[in-house]
Chains A and B, each alone.
Chain A
Amino acid sequence: MTRRTKALAGFAVAAIVINLVPALAEALDTPGFYITFMFTAFFWISQAVSWNILTGYSGYFSFGQGAWFGVGVYTTGVLAAKEGWPFLVALPIAGALAAAFGLGLGLVVFRLRKLSGEIFALTTLAVAFVLASVARLYSFIDGGRGIFMTGTPLPEFLGDFRTAMFRMTFVVAFLTVLAAYLLYESRVGWGLFAIRDDEQVAHGLGVPTFRYKMVALGTNAFFSGLMGGVWALQIGFVTVDDVFNIRVPLFVILMSVLGGMKHWMGPVVGAVIIYTLTDRLNSAGLEDVNQIIIGGLLIFLVLAVREGIYLRMRMRWILTLTVFGTAMAVWTFADLATSLIWDFAYASLITLLAVLLPTRQSVARVLRRGGPATPVEASAAERAST
Chain B
Amino acid sequence: MRTTKILIFGWTAVLLAGFSSCSNGVRRDPGSIYMPDMAYSRAVETYSDVKYLNDQGIHYDATPVAGTVKRGGIAVFPLSKDQGTDTTNYVASKQVANPYAQLDPKDFLEAARLYRVNCAICHGEKLDGNGPIYNGGNGPYPIAPKNLIADPVVSKMPEGQMMYSVTYGKNLMGSYASQMSTRQRWMVIHYVKTMQSGGKPAAAPAVTDTTKAK
Tell whether A pairs with B: no
State the B residues within 8 Å of A (CB): none
